[in-house]
Structure 1
Amino acid sequence: MATTRTAREGELDELLTLYRMLNPDDPELAPDDVADQWKEMLADDNLDIVVVEEDDTLVASCVLSVTPNLTRGARPFALIENVVTREDYRGNGFGKQCVRAAVDMAEQRGCYKVMLLTGAEAEWKRSFYEDCGFDRAAKTGFVRDLR
């Protein structure tokens, strides 16, 4: 049975391996290059790196970012980003398990909504998010790339 939890300090290398599967064209990062940032991320109370572990391997992950807010009764909102499943474990429900756990965490923290964006044009990817309970027609997303 796969376990869903937040990432631990010693899992940076395994997480970077997952991210290479998410964005293969990104520059490869060595754990030493981002060790300080990793510690900051783990210490950030408004950020959770959600992982699914199967057979002592991180098989899926996403980032949950919670933003304090002064509307909607001062309830925070959340954003899910960097959703990825290990290539050799895809199609087994681990990605959905991860996203649903992140949504549950946001709900437990009192968020009034959870958002995510996808640039994926493949219909199966959009259907994946709908199967996780997201509504593609509820809002219009805009992105300004700052690269």
Structure 2
Amino acid sequence: MTATVAIRDLGVGDADALVALYQHLNAGDVPPTAEAVRAVFAHPGMRHFGLFVSDALIASCNLAVIPNLTRGGSSYGVIENVVTHAEHRGRGHGQAVVRHAVDQALTAGCYKVVLTTSRKDPAVWAFYERCGFDAGDKRAFVIRRR
């Protein structure tokens, strides 16, 4: 029997599976409150995508579409929280969900899509380059709350 693979938008009903998957992104992360989950999934312009193998959530990322007053008023997209379950890496699932998010951003009229990562592993950077991102195009700077 061949497993079915599908990518779809996630909703609040997928939150438990998504939070569990995030342990493969940031082990030991504190789970969000139910109120925070509802607020995130109700946020306009924010979408979460999940790749399912059969009925199991295997990979995910989110896309924020940001309104903009430059570039003729064209919005831009930001992809974050890219994760694939550790037991399913190296099979193209992460690449598929990222490319889906990029396609959705372009369909929404975004003139660019930005992705950031805190990973220092060159293999992770190579993964994003295989997804079509150009590491030399922009530089990101971050301030974190202490």
Deviations 1:104-144 (A, max 9, x none): 11001100100011121211100000000000000111111
5+ long unaligned stretches in structure 1: none
Question: Structure 1 length normalisation: TM-score?
Answer: 0.92
Matches within 5 A, 1:125-140: 125-140=124-139
Count of aligned pairs between the two proteins: 143
C-alpha separation between the residues in 2 aligned to 1:38 and 1:52? 19
Following TM superposition, by how much is the alpha carbon of 1:40 offset from its aligned partner in structure 2, in angstroms?
2.1
2:12 is aligned with 1:9: yes
Specify the SS of the correspondent of 2:82: strand
2:108 is aligned with 1:109: yes
- Equivalent in the alignment of 1:62: 61
Specify the SS of the correspondent of 1:118: coil
C-alpha separation between the residues in 2 aligned to 1:10 and 1:78? 24
5+ long unaligned stretches in structure 2: none
Specify the SS of the correspondent of 1:91: coil
- Equivalent in the alignment of 1:18: 21
Specify the SS of the correspondent of 1:133: coil
- Equivalent in the alignment of 1:123: 122
User: What code does the residue aligned with 1:51 have?
Assistant: G
Following TM superposition, by how much is the alpha carbon of 1:9 offset from its aligned partner in structure 2, in angstroms?
2.3
